[in-house]
Structures are given as C-alpha cells and as structure tokens.
C-alpha cells in the first residue's frame, strides 16, 4: 500500500497514540503521507484496513510493504530510519533504555 518512498501512516487524531505520531511527523517532516481512518465511522473495520492491522487499531505505518501497528514501535522506527535529533529517542544505551523502560 505504500507508494514510492513515502511512508504512509494511518491515523485518527482523536486517538492520543495517533497524535504522538503526528507530532513527530509534523516537527520533523520526513517524507510521508497521512491516511485518515475515521474511528467514529468504523473505518478501522473495513476489509482493506483489517488487512493492514487485523486488530483494527490505529496508528498503522506502512513503509515499502513493511507494516508496524503500535505507536511506540512506529515512533522508534521513524526516529531511527530518518536519524532524527537525539531528543526524540536517545542514542546512548542507558538513556535509550530509560525511555524503553518507561514506554514498556
């Protein structure tokens, strides 16, 4: 479902985890396309979306066929892939471990 080099993210901004992903994308502007999934209309239950995430939850990220379905994993993936500033996700093992401890 991803097109070219754009990362596609499926979001509904009523969801706090989706807003976290949107904030990261807005502040850093990696090449991406937002696909809105209106939870209040049940769009997460469509057959097309269920193929992406059988749990029928947002956010979902698709990067050249690679699908991630949890906001924590999506955020860490984007920071790593696009080498975003360290304050988003520290590179030092101890500091990174503290972030991981908190988000686990």
Q: Do you find a cis peptide bond into 21, omega within 30 degrees of 0?
A: no
**CA neighbor of 71 nearest in space, from 63, 59, 82:** 59
1 assigned to some structural domain: no
Q: Is residue 91 part of a domain?
A: yes
Distance of alpha carbon 28 from alpha carbon 86, whole angstroms = 12
Question: Is 2 part of any domain?
Answer: no
Per-residue pLDDT of 57-68, as tens digits, reads 999 999 999 999
73, pLDDT greater than 80 = yes
Render pLDDT for 15-58 as a digit per residue (tens, 0 to 9).
999 999 999 999 999 999 999 999 999 999 999 999 999 999 99
pLDDT band at 81 (very low <50, low <70, confident <90, very high): very high
Range of the domain at 32: 7-103
- Closest Cα to residue 27, out of 88, 91, 92? 88
What would the pLDDT profile of 5-18 be if each residue is shown by its tens digit?
899 999 999 999 99
Sign of the alpha-carbon dihedral angle for 7, 19, 71, 67: negative
Residues annotated catalytic, as ranges: 15
Domain count, the chain: 1
CATH number at residue 12: 3.40.30.10
């Amino acid at each position: 479902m991803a097109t070219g080099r754009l990362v596609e993210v499926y979001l509904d901004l009523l969801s706090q985890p989706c807003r976290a992903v949107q904030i990261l994308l807005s502040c850093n502007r990696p090449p991406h396309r937002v696909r809105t999934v209106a939870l209040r209309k049940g769009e997460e239950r469509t057959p097309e979306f269920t193929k992406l995430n059988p749990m029928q939850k947002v956010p979902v990220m698709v990067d050249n066929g690679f699908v991630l379905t949890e906001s924590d994993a999506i955020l860490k993936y984007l920071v790593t892939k696009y080498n975003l500033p360290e304050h988003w996700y520290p590179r030092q093992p101890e500091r990174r471990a503290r972030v991981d401890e908190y988000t686990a």
